[in-house]
Chains A and B, each alone.
Chain A
Amino acid sequence: MAKTYDYLFKLLLIGDSGVGKTSILFRFSEDAFNISFISTIGIDFKIRTIDLDGKKVKLQIWDTAGQERFRTITTAYYRGSMGIMLVYDVTNEKSFENIKNWIRNIEENASADVEKMILGNKCDLDAKRQVSKERGEQLAVEYQIKFVETSAKDSLNVEFAFYTLARDIKAKMEKKQEASNPPGGRTGAHQLRANEQQRKPTSWLSRCSVL
């Protein structure tokens, strides 16, 4: 059988047009960079399987067009996403300001459980920089989202960013699982009293599993 994977995580890249979403994805999936700007049409995705703590995690990463005219299509992909990268261009003030709008867009369209990360891309272009790293960090703190500056061109922090997001999703998954039936046997507020007599095991069907 073809080699399989343990988990499928669906990720999404959003941000203004031209900030480098497609380049970041190209770098991560193909380890290459293209200087020319080919505007993404609507949506696209790439696959890469990574290894996290011995588990094979297949990442399906959706790239979106930043343009308004594709918005209906792109927002349709928010809901199924477990992680979202918010990308801005450090040489473009406007794209940074718009991060707030993109966050609002996530709040309205994505699952409440979605993990997020902010990327300040093109950090190789120091001469043209309009947004300082500090401002990026500050925004991230404000929204309680992780942040890193990247360069798709120089392959800086791109791997790190995706691994971090994937790791955060995995951690959340583990946490959710623990919360759903903690081995300690203590659950939320509505735990029935222990005086719910420790009856002897009854029907098998009523126990470990129904089937």
Chain B
Amino acid sequence: MNYQSKANKYVCPNDRQLSLRAKLRTGWSAARSEPPLSKSEREAIAAVVKRAEKVDEVEARRVGRLVARLEGMRRSAQGPAPRTCLLCGETSRLLAPLRTCAICRNSACPKCVIDTPPHRSSIYSREQYTCILCAETREMWKKSGAWFFKSLPKYIMPDKKITGRYNDTELAKTLQEAGPSSNEGKTDSEPGSPLSIHPPSFSRQPSKTDSRKSVCLSQDHEWNETDILSHGVSGLSLHRTDSLTQRPLGLKRTSSKGSAYSIRSIRKDMPKTMTQIERPPTIPDAGFGTLEIKLAYDNGTSSVAVTILRARGLIGMDMTGLSDPFCRLEILPREGSYSNRLRTKTVHKTKNPEFNETLHFFGITESDLDSKCLEIVLFDDDRYGCDEMGSATVSLRECLKCPSQLRLALSGASGSEPTGPRLLLALCYSTKKRALVTTVCRGAELPPQDSNGYSDPFVKLHLDPDPYHKKHKTSIKWRNLNPIWNEEFLFETRPTELSRQNLTLTVWDKDYGKPNDFLGSLVLGASSKGRRLKHWMDCIKFPDHRHEQWHSLTDTQHL
């Protein structure tokens, strides 16, 4: 292959180039001269993808076992009490004095600690001990691959078909029950630790609420071979239209961000043989709930009427396990870059919304019925960015069938990274510092506010409520829409309080002589939802580990 002559074609375009291209209404695929993949090629690739899904599932189950094991250990631990081992409860004896865990600083008996080899670069060479709970947490971080992916990958808990990452409701309850900060020092003297008073925080109800976050897996299971085969793969990650994932609704943007394993994107834009066609009208629920719709075509007005009746068993997105769902509808593939998306109203605080709303798409010809499909994506309405809860695609040919009422199984969100204006944020609850360590890593695609086409961004952050009223600010990055800060800030707090607090970040454009321009905001915490809640909970659940994640910025200022 001669790269010289193709020099400009060689480099895979980055997100920015792709989004620019999207704006210019020129498709990347249009610029490619290679022939599309043949049927047999697509079949071969589909077979590999299927094989890989099996490997992923084995891995998700293994990680699930690790998580379960750790939770079991935590559950059976005695909890710290003066002069007793936090794990087995044994008291200090002359020949077996208690050790202090270098990570959590609790006491544990010699049987419940492991010797840690002194840190290589450490100037302290005295012996170090780690309690087996802390050791196990660290081990889990390595074994799960979280050290590389920077957060816990998807997993499936043992003995459950699909189990979510965790039950936030349960977690919240336990944390809340653990009492307000006034319990400081009190719990120690109480007979029995908070743990024994409030038993297992993670007893999992096999409810459907829990079924989030194993997202990709169950979504992948939704796939049958024909899906992949008939959709072609040449458009992989290039026609992604899920701009609403993690985006405020006001901003329309065509995202073209590619992400590994975003096999789901293959499905997009591919009109023929949609998932539902070869299947009976009722499809087994994959854990993301179901959606009932009615379709009708009117050739007089060349319109398709879509009635969204209801959804059942949606995944929970907030702390209470409920959601605020709405549906976004779109006919695919699009003609050019013109998008005609419609959305339903939001039904609040429910997992079983009744929409009963009819939406009309005009300008649909009869031949479109054969070649196009309707994509319905459910989002959780949140002012800080709407998270995708599931989606379904159905061929418009279904309009012609009787009865036209369909029940669709929703497949999970792609879990793709957010696009558009966003912040990369790392959270770590440090048990040693007793503080939430927040690292504002970087920003991307920030909106230009100055006449020179740039902004001079900085980030303000505070915790709410915060008894210390700490307010932090990053430095200003001049003329930069993709600033790198990597600045770290500490908020003194404890996990019990964290479960009630929210971290607010606002991004500003520094201007002299006039008020700073607002560039976007982000709230993570107990009252946030979806991705943001998950990030927060991961941070509480796995202290002393850095949890790094991108989050979209909202363009509205909620202060």
Binary interface encoding of chain A residues 177-211 relative to chain B, with 1 for a CB under 8 A from any of its CBs, else 0: 11011111110111110001000111111111111
CA distance A153 to B45 in the complex (A): 26
A180 touches B187 (CB 8 A): no
**Beta-carbon contact of B496 and A68 below 8 Å:** no
- Is the Cβ of A76 less than 8 Å from the Cβ of B433? no
Q: What is the distance, in angstroms, from B44's C-beta to the closest C-beta of chain A? A: 4
Smallest distance from the beta carbon of A104 to chain B beta carbons, Å? 7
Residues of chain B having any CB pair with chain A under 8 Å: 1-3, 6, 9-12, 14, 34-35, 37, 41, 44-45, 48, 51-52, 55, 59, 62, 71, 74-75, 77, 79-80, 82, 86, 101-106, 116-124, 128, 130-131, 133-134, 137-138, 141-143, 145, 147-149, 171, 174-175, 178-179, 183-188, 193-195, 201-202, 233-234, 236-238, 258-262, 429, 431-435, 437, 488, 490, 494-496, 540-541, 543-546
Range of interface residues on chain A? 35 or more
For chains A and B in complex, what number of residue pairs have CB atoms within 8 angstroms? 225
Binds B, one of A106-114, A122-130, A131-139: A106-114
B62 touches A98 (CB 8 A): no
**B195 — nearest CB in chain A belongs to which residue?**
A204
Instruction: Give the shortest distance, in Å, between A29 (CB) and chain B (any CB).
Output: 13
Pull 17 A–B residue pairs with CB atoms less than 8 Å apart, ordered by A.
Answer: A7-B142, A45-B55, A67-B1, A71-B12, A72-B234, A76-B237, A76-B258, A80-B149, A177-B141, A177-B142, A184-B123, A184-B124, A203-B186, A203-B194, A207-B105, A208-B131, A211-B541
Residue of A nearest to B166 (CB): A211
**Within 8 Å CB of B80, what residues of A?**
201, 204, 207-208
Add 11 more A-B contacts to A67-B1, A207-B106, A208-B431 (CB < 8 A): A5-B62, A7-B145, A42-B41, A82-B145, A82-B148, A105-B11, A173-B148, A206-B431, A206-B495, A208-B106, A208-B134
> Contact: A178 with B119, CB < 8 Å?
yes
Question: Which residues of chain B are within 8 angstroms of A80 by Cβ–Cβ distance?
Answer: 149, 260-261
A16 adjacent to chain B (CB < 8 Å): yes
- Contact A79–B259 (Cβ < 8 Å): yes
The answer to whether A184 and B128 touch (CB under 8 A), given A69-B34, A208-B106, is yes
Q: Are B171 and A72 in contact (CB under 8 A)?
A: no
Q: Does A77 contact B (CB under 8 A)?
A: yes
Chain A residues with CB under 8 Å of B236's CB are: 72-73, 76
| Chain A interface residues toward B at CB < 8 A | 4-8, 16-17, 41-45, 47, 60, 66-69, 71-73, 75-80, 82, 94, 97-98, 101, 104-105, 108-109, 111, 113, 173-174, 176-178, 180-186, 188-192, 196, 200-211
Question: Shortest Cβ distance from B294 into chain A, in angstroms?
Answer: 36
Q: Whole-angstrom distance from the CB of B262 to the nearest CB of chain A?
A: 7
A203 CA to B122 CA in the complex, in Å? Answer: 30
